[in-house]
Structure 1
Amino acid sequence: MSMNLMYITRDPGIAKIAQASGVDWIFVDLEIIGKHDRQGHLDTVISGHTLEDVRAVRAVLDTSKLLVRVNPIHSKSPREIDDVIEAGADIVMLPFFHHRQEVAEFVEAVGGRAKTCLLLETPGAVEHLDEILTVEGIDYVHIGLNDLHLGYGLPFMFDLLANGTVEHLMQRLAQAGLPCGFGGIARLGHGDLPAEAIIAEHHRMGSSMAILSRSFCMANSESDLKQIEALFLHEVARIRAYEEFLTQQDEWFFEDNRMTVGRVVGEISARRAAAAAAKVAVAGLTGGNEVPVGFPQAAFSRMRVSVADAISRLVTVPDEATESA
């Protein structure tokens, strides 16, 4: 079973390359309200895409669908939704909702003019999911691991995969007959939690969609479109080949992978928890300005910096651990 692959970009050139490589949905991200407050302390990207970007990307697409994430429900949501549909959105995504009423307002505003996709990413939405799913007109649901793990106070977004939360939600969504997916994937072979392990979990749970990580084609560091095109074509083909490989595996393969994911996620989560504890320790060791009696001010200042740097390097989790986000 092949998943719908999504890629987030505002660049028409990259969008066209992604489409040619077999990416199913091109994702333009207009969400800005509240996002910095929730994720500003993390190494995540707040897109800053615009309505003009929606139009520009729409102009180059003919086979891939255009998905646009709007803001959470607010006073101007009906106008915002009208604008993105008029600009050519095939699918409109609602993020960061908590209750049935928000979803009902969203579906009503879309009015059947485009497909609807819910981004399930708050503990409130999980709590009220049964009520939310009574709203008619929901077409897809994607489980957003980033905000959801923050909402539950977990160290690592894939804790939600290891602790059974994702599987429980996927089962509930499947029972409701809704196509669903979760999180994102990196290039094969990348990440402390490799993309292969995550894709196998997608397959085991019957997932029908995943977001390709923003670094998937290295567009932020590579300016040569030919290089980006070659990378995209190669890496998407590898994912499709791996999906085909998974169709030939037995239940023991997937159970072994599930156990491996749990172990690796536990290790990463423990390191992140240690990093958080160390930051508290660093603050305690380095936060005060009182110099011990007889200790030179300059030497004391250097010592504080050295202690903070040493502890930080010991406990910092490599960025690659979140490559699959």
Structure 2
Amino acid sequence: MNKRTNLSANDILAIPEDAPERLFSCAATAKKEGRVLTQMWHPDRNKDPRAADVFDRLRKLEAAAEEKIAQGTWETPGLLTITSTDASQYELRYARKVALEVGTMYVWRKSVGFDIPSDNEDLLANAERQIASLTYANDGMRREFARCFPEVVRKIQTPKGVFLLMSKDPGVLLLQDVLDHYNGKMPAKHVAWVLSRLLNIACYLELQGRLAHNAIGPDTVFISPAEHTAHLLGGWWFSTPLGAPMKAAAQRTILCAPPDVLQKKVGDVRTDMEMIQALGRELLGDITGVRLAADPEVHAALVDWLQLSTHRSAVATYKDWQERVLVEAFGPRKFVKLDLTHDMLYAEAL
């Protein structure tokens, strides 16, 4: 309570009227904490010139808290409560909450959750269908690629839609969070191995999966700094079999897909290639790529590759990347350590 009683008038007035979670520690103690604060800031007792405004804000925050508790919509930061249609409740603590075009993503140490509203359940069904269609020619291919794709461990029907829980290794981190850790610009040596892994996945999707993911970006890609692997755990709502009509298109798809693909609105491997290039530019701190040529830390061969159109196939693009771009930009192949863990990354957000 001391933390809240020490808040200034400015601190309390900065809290929106509909965000009681930012003031009270939890739903169970909100009423008690509100009573203490309103007594403390009552204009008859508090001589601060803004006491009346603070008192009014506290009363509105109390009312918002009561309403959210009654409706079951209270959200304690870092704690997600899921109520299923059969009234079962699940509590999950998360490290990161990300708003998506199709719903909300939650990132934990060992899992990733997606809260999908009812009006997007058709996209959820599409994602489940495309993920289920992934096959492997042999055990070696399965060992290499199965871990790159989602594994659903629980599907919970809720009054407002569906909550999907997927497993994740603790060492696998959301790429957007890694980029934020580097203040919007990752070292080129790390961007290179991320792109290598994504191009390898794109080859699998082209030859074996026969589909375009259509949503490769920092909020759908996860990486393992220790193992130098990439994992496409999000964005499957927009995936499309090659040549088949798109169910929907993410904003990123609209920005990156070749014009003829957007006109035809079909699955095309070139979309993934363009999205990987756009991601490379974004990871290097310049989504347009205009300033990269003047960046002494980014080799000209890499700049050119990120700006030029890709080949019509993922395999040809990957071959050019491996045999020419990487060699010219970085020399002989070597493992470059990225010292970043879940605890190091998410401690910054707690």
TM-score, structure 2 normalization = 0.25
Higher helix share: 1
**Relative contact order, higher structure (CA 8 A, sep 6+):** 1
Instruction: Name which one, 1 or 2, has greater alpha-carbon Rg.
Output: 2
TM-score, structure 1 normalization = 0.27
